[in-house]
Amino acid sequence: MRRGNTCSRRSPLSISLSQSHSEFFWDFRLYLNESGKSRRHKKRVFQQNRPSAARLQCPLPYSKSYTGIHLNLALPIWLIVGISMSDPEIPLTGGRATPGVVRVGATVRRPQSPQSEFVHQVLRSLAERGFSGAPRFLGVDDRDREILTFLPGDVPSDLGIFTEAQLAAAAGLLRSLHDTTAALGLRGTSEIICHGDPSPCNAVFHDGLPYARIDFDRAHAGSRSDDLGYAAWLWLDIGNDDWVSDVQRQRLAQFCADYGAATQMDPVAAVLAAQTRLCNRIGGPPGNREWAEECRAWTVTHLALAP
């Protein structure tokens, strides 16, 4: 946490605050200055950096108007979205990265999509309820890219073989996400908010275990079985001929048990439903539908019809 130079010698955080009476929002413009500079020099740096400011909106219980106020305040680290001019943009290539996603300091910048407004609402709601397994939405930068917190760790680039501990952690993380969204009004009349693509390629690993999910672009209101069937399919790589059907059946049952849904749903039916949805999806990466059809055929033959 950074404090003003009246409290410590650490780098101060200069902030310009303004607010609209009609919107009841503070607009935070944050700038990180170098430590040890004079007050006069800091103001000059602030003016030079002003065009590249990131914007963050936080609701307040009442309306006031402040213009051009420069303060040094102690703020949570996730609130610091202003960056120095020297911070580079580093392309993120882990997982199946969305084109144009870059890391800037402790943040991630992503192009927006028609789904972005709903995703931002979901991420705000998850943060408000203390869910730590997702990035926090911080605002939109001057290039109209969404700003998210960077979650350190490793992201698999493809499907693979995961340990029992990793599978249990993945199932538990999905359950925690679903339980949190079950209390959100955003779900409407549906059971929960689905992640929409809870594959290993959208999970962040730390110390060998998945602890967070990223890429909520396909988030939507739906059922637990929608997400669980899809997650089981991809985490277990169901449809891969390298696995014996009896072993896959046992692994599937265990994955659902780790989620806590062993008696509430038919695991094979949930996987088939997820595979069918992808078979019918229009668009997407080349070859996706054909791969989904092959996986579905394997599931029907080896899990659904097998004794």
In a domain, 146, yes or no: no
Residues 185, 272: Cα–Cα separation, whole Å? 29
The residue with greater pLDDT, 121 or 285, is 121
Contact 147, 105 (CB under 8 A): no
In a domain, 145, yes or no: no
- Which of 57, 83, 109 is at the close of a domain? 83
In a domain, 117, yes or no: no
Which CATH number belongs to the domain containing residue 260 in this structure?
Answer: 1.10.510.10
Range of the domain at 174: 164-304
Query: Which pLDDT band, with edges at 50, 70 and 90, does 72 fall under?
Result: very low
In a domain, 191, yes or no: yes
In a domain, 115, yes or no: no
In a domain, 13, yes or no: yes
3-state secondary structure 187-229: HCCCCEEECCCCCHHHEEEECCEEEEECCCCCCEEECHHHHHH
**Tens of pLDDT, residues 135-159:** 999 999 999 999 999 999 999 989 9
- Which of 83, 100, 115 is at the close of a domain? 83
Contact 279, 292 (CB under 8 A): yes
Per DSSP, the three-state class of 70 is strand
**Tens of pLDDT, residues 209-239:** 999 999 999 999 999 999 999 999 999 999 9
User: Does 67 share its domain with 178?
Assistant: no
Per DSSP, the three-state class of 120 is helix
In a domain, 105, yes or no: no
**Tens of pLDDT, residues 238-256:** 999 999 999 999 999 999 9
- Which of 50, 83, 116 is at the close of a domain? 83
In a domain, 287, yes or no: yes
